[in-house]
Every structure is written in structure tokens, then in C-alpha cells.
Amino acid sequence: MDSYRYDHSMHDMRKRLWVVILLSCCCFSSVIEGAERLNVSASSAVVMDQQTGQVLWAKNPDWKRPMASLTKIMTAILILENCDLDDTVTISREAARTPGSSMNLRAGTTYQVRDLLYGLMLLSGNDAAAALAEHSGGRIDEFVAMMNKKALLLGATNTNFANPHGLPDEKHYSTAHDLALLTRSSLAIPEFAALVASDQAVIPDPMDAAHLSIYNKNRLLWEFEGANGVKTGYTLKAGRCLVASATRYGRQVVAVILDAPRLWEDAVTLLNYGLEEHKNIMIAQKGQELGTASVQGGLKGTVAVVSGNDVWITAPKAQSEAAKIDYVISGEIIAPVEKWAPLGKLRVMDGEKLLLEAPLLAGEQVVERSWAGRLRHFVHRLRRLLVEH
């Protein structure tokens, strides 16, 4: 913990926080113990809690590997952020000729963005990826630049995109951990979550009056209780890949599985591990008072410290010891202090590893101890009374 000077009231705050975590949390070493029991064929894999973002299990999580059609998760994110679902897309000759898995698009035909998104995520159409990239970015290389910029913004620092579909390229790679980060962000978009949870879709056929029924390649949607996404992928170099998501008991977990000979068995193992052996625990509510900190030069000698966010952690159900909650106050607090002013950070630690942090805010105003400060406080209260009446 960083070295800061704390007064007695802040030590009281530390004690109160420790009691909360001791009563409700556990030792995270049991995550490792549980993970050792898993028999997973994948070369690289991660299980992440969707709400907290905590990694619950990992195998070679930062190994840079080809990601095949899992690429299309990022393509879909950018299309949903930058395009209207009712936009009309005219299929170019280049897009129609894209090799690999296909919607069988024909040059010169038109589709709505939403129909191409179904073809992208359910059929894994490389031609749909190219057409959407051209529609959104103008040129595919410009869209790829958007993909890489977005990846960095989402914390996927070990990822580089070279195309919007995932066809082999030495400069096209990601990691299981990065793909979990991207998927967690994508599932927060309601349209994306609904799209990848669809087991089938019906889209217009522009060549005649008929409609086309397409079906999702993700068989977990039929075979695993609570499954609701996300994307399959395969190339010879990448092997069999999958990003899977499922929800049970009000919790959602994401499993990323790269190069897995037993792909579907791995998915079931990892999703069950994340859902059945863990629980989410609220440490603090947004606005909840956690203690007090001393204030220099104020009419009051202390200020209430509150949590700036709802703070949740994911913990194994088999509890043993307590995780550690720490806090850092950002230097000496000097009046005046405005209500909701940032004071520091609350941190949840697993040994030396930072699991999460949340802002600590001032829960009240503290006026400086001077005639000018008292006058400002009086005027502020008078104005508020006049407004209220």
C-alpha cells in the first residue's frame, strides 16, 4: 500500500471495510485450486465474469494467436456504434469475392445493415464483414485502423487487426484475455447481445421475393442451459476457436477458447466452472458511507468518505479466508471540500494483485475555517433556501 498519513478516523474506516470483506469474501487462492481440477484441451483459454471483469480461470491468457472469425466481434462492435441498422449497403465486387465462409452475397445487390450483421455473426460470412467494413470505413484499411484504435481503448493491448473477418495474416492476432475484454464490452451493447443470442434469423433475398432462413453455428445455444452467445471461429492455423457466454442465477460469464481439439467439451467445462463455483458479492453501494477522513482548515475536522460506484467482486463459493480491501487518500485534504469531490481510491487486493478499484468521494461539503468561508457558506445556504421556496 502507498505510504500516506492517516488520522484515527481513517483507521476506523479501514477497520470497518475489513469487517465487511471478512464477513462476505474469501481467499482467491481457491480459484487456482479449482482451476487445477479442470481438464481443458485448448492451447489458450480464459473465463471472465461479465459484471466484474474478473478473470476466474486462465490458461496461457496472453499468448498471441490467430483468432479466425472471432475477429467479427470487433467488426460488429464498430458497425453497431457507427451505423444505423436500417442503412442500405450495396455489395461491391471485392466484398462478394471475399474467400472463406460466406453469405453468398452478389455484387450490386443491396442489404440492410441488420441483415448483414446476422450473416456476419450467425453464418460467419467473410463477405458480410468486408461489405460492412466498406460501408462504415469507406475502405477496408480505414475500417481496420478503427478496429485497432478501438481495441486499445478497450484495453486489448496484445491485439492487432489486419482485416475485418479473420482470414490468416501474420499481423492479425489476439489473446484469450484480450478477446474476453472485447466480448465483455460488446455484450454491454443490447443490440449485440440480442444478435449473438439468436439461434436463427430470416433475412430478405434480394434476388427474388423469398426470404432466407439462416442458423447460428454456435451449438451451445441449443445444448447448454443459459447459453446466449457469442461466436465460433476456425482456420487451419488458428484451430477451433470459440467465445461462449452463458447466464445463470443472475450472473453471466464469458469463456474464450483458442485452438481446442475438444472445443464444445471445453466450453461446457469452463462455463460450468464460472457459473457454478463462483458468486458475486457487493462490497459497497454507490454513495454508501465507508468512514471519515480528516480535513485541515475546515469548520469540521472530518469529512464523510463514500463509495463513488457500486463495488462488486466475484469470489469462489468455497470460502476460506478474507480478501484484502485497501484505500488510498490522494494527499492531505484541505478545506474547502465540495460534496462528491474525489478523495482517493478503494482497492480490492488478492495478495499483491489488484483485482479492482473504485473512486472514494466526499459525502458532504466542508467549509473552510475563515470569515470568508463562513460567508460563502451562508450565501450558498440562503440561495438554496430561496430556490426551494
Q: Is 320 a catalytic residue?
A: no
C-alpha distance from residue 268 to each of 221, 237, 262, 368 (Å): 12, 24, 10, 60
Indicate the SS3 state at residue 87: coil
Q: Per the residue annotation, which of 43, 44, 69, 174 is the catalytic one? A: 69
Q: Per the residue annotation, which of 101, 124, 185, 186 is the catalytic one? A: 124
Residue with cell 471478512: 22
How many angstroms separate the CA atoms of 378 and 98, rounded? Answer: 71
Q: Is 69 a catalytic residue?
A: yes
Q: Is 72 a catalytic residue?
A: yes
User: Is the CB of residue 45 less than 8 Å from the CB of residue 326?
Assistant: no
User: Is the CB of residue 173 less than 8 Å from the CB of residue 66?
Assistant: yes
User: Is the CB of residue 10 less than 8 Å from the CB of residue 290?
Assistant: no
Peptide bond into 230 cis (omega under 30): yes
Nearest residue to 213 (alpha-carbon basis) of 115, 100, 70: 115
Q: Per the residue annotation, which of 43, 59, 72, 150 is the catalytic one? A: 72
CB burial of 96-119 (b: ≥16 within 10 Å; e: otherwise) equals: bebebbbbebeeeeebbbbbbbbb
Element holding 181 (H helix, E strand): helix 176-187
Residue 334's contacts (CB-CB under 8 Å, 6 or more residues apart) are: 295, 296, 297
User: Is the CB of residue 18 less than 8 Å from the CB of residue 322?
Assistant: yes
Where in the sequence numbering do the catalytic residues fall? Answer: 69, 72, 124
